């Protein structure tokens, strides 16, 4: 129950921390169907950013902008739809009830005798952070500052041999500006409709209206 516990201000935590639970953006090469996690302009065994776009390391196909943005949009919509599937889960670890049924009391667990509290398994905060994560991948500044959430932990078997040099990242970011800005706009399209991104001042100051 995040609201009750003391937490650092959202804006002060690092992307690595904020996107801890976010899942990677998985792209598939339209040419050879290899799937890979896209982590921005970073080193990877599966893809490389070249001056003309994102290139599949398996077949050397360079993805066109629509081949990238269509997948980004599809992935976002799958996340939104999963959110709206409305899975709820019980916080009592001995119960662990996962269901799409909701009691008329909302937070009450429907298992006999369980006093646990139900909450959305895929919370709106998680969805919002997930979309911010996707947005960060196409954020040129974050790419240049190399503050993106790393794709791999050290020791992962898929970890690339060596990171990209700073100058490579700077150059590639500029060369890919149009692609990244277009992709970022695709994410922005959904963020602009996301209720979590906006605070309803009306309801906060409700008490002032008599």
Partner 1 sequence: DAKKYKFRTMRQSLLDAADVLDEQIDIFTEVIQKHHNLKASDIGDPTFQQQSEVYTVGRIVADSVSAEGSLNVDSLAIETSRSTGIGRRIRLNFEKVQDLSVFPGQIIGLRGKNANGEYFVVEEILKVPYLNFPVSDAETLQNSQITLNDQAMKVVVTAGPYTAANNLDFSNLADFVERINSSIKPHVLVMFGPFLDITHPLISTGNIPEFPSLKQQPKTLDEIFIKVITPILRRINPKIQVIVLPSTKEVSSKHAAYPQDSLDRKYLGLPKNFKCFTNPSTFQLNEIFFGCSNNDIYKDLKEVTKGGNVFQRNRFDRVSEHILEQRRYYPVFPGGIRTRKIEDKNGKPIFEHISGADLDLPYLGLTEFVGGIIPDVILIPSELTHFARVVQNVIMINPGSFIRPNGGRGTYVEMSIEAPDMENEKMTKVEDVYLHNLWKRSRIDVLTA
Binding site for partner 1 (CB under 8 A): 27-30, 33, 63-71, 73-74, 77-78, 80-86, 88, 97-108, 110-111, 118-120, 124, 127-128, 182, 185-186, 189-190, 192-198
In the complex with partner 1, the residue whose CB is nearer, 72 or 169, is 72
C-alpha span between 101 and 99 (Å, rounded): 5
Question: What is the smallest separation between the CB atom of 145 and partner 1, expressed in angstroms?
Answer: 26
Contact yes or no for 145/42 (Cβ under 8 A): no
Distances (CA, A) of 12 to 9, 55, 86, 129: 6, 34, 30, 14
- The answer to whether residues 152 and 160 touch, using CB atoms and an 8 Å cutoff, is yes
Give Cα separations from 6 to 3, 10, 74 (angstroms). 8, 12, 36
Treating both helix axes as pointing N-terminal to C-terminal, what angle do 177-191 and 166-175 enclose, rounded to 10 degrees?
A: 70
Q: Which residue has the tokens 């959430």?
A: 149
Task: Kindly state the smallest distance separating residue 23's Cβ from partner 1, in Å.
Answer: 12
Nearer to partner 1, 109 or 148 (CB): 109
Find the shortest distance in angstroms from Cβ 132 to partner 1. 12
Minimal distance, residue 158 CB to partner 1, in Å = 11
- Pick the closer one to partner 1 by CB: 95 or 171: 95
Nearer to partner 1, 78 or 145 (CB): 78
């Amino acid at each position: 129950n995040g609201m009750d516990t003391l937490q650092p201000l959202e804006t002060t935590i690092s992307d690595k921390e904020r996107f801890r639970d976010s899942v990677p953006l998985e792209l598939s090469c339209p040419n050879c169907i290899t799937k890979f996690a896209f982590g921005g302009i970073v080193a990877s065994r599966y893809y490389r950013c070249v001056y003309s776009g994102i290139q599949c390391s398996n077949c050397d196909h360079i993805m066109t902008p629509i081949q990238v943005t269509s997948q980004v949009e599809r992935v976002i919509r799958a996340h939104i739809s999963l959110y709206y599937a409305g899975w709820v889960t019980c916080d009592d670890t001995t119960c662990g009830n996962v269901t799409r049924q909701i009691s008329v009391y909302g937070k009450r667990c429907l298992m006999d005798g369980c006093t646990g509290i139900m909450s959305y398994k895929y919370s709106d905060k998680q969805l919002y952070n997930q979309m911010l994560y996707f947005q960060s991948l196409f954020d040129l500044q974050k790419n240049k500052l190399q503050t993106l959430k790393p794709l791999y932990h050290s020791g992962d078997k898929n970890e690339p041999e060596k990171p990209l040099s700073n100058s490579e990242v700077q150059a590639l970011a500029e060369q890919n500006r149009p692609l990244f800005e277009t992709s970022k706009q695709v994410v922005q399209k959904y963020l602009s409709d996301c209720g979590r991104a906006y605070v309803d001042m009306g309801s906060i100051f409700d008490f002032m209206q008599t």
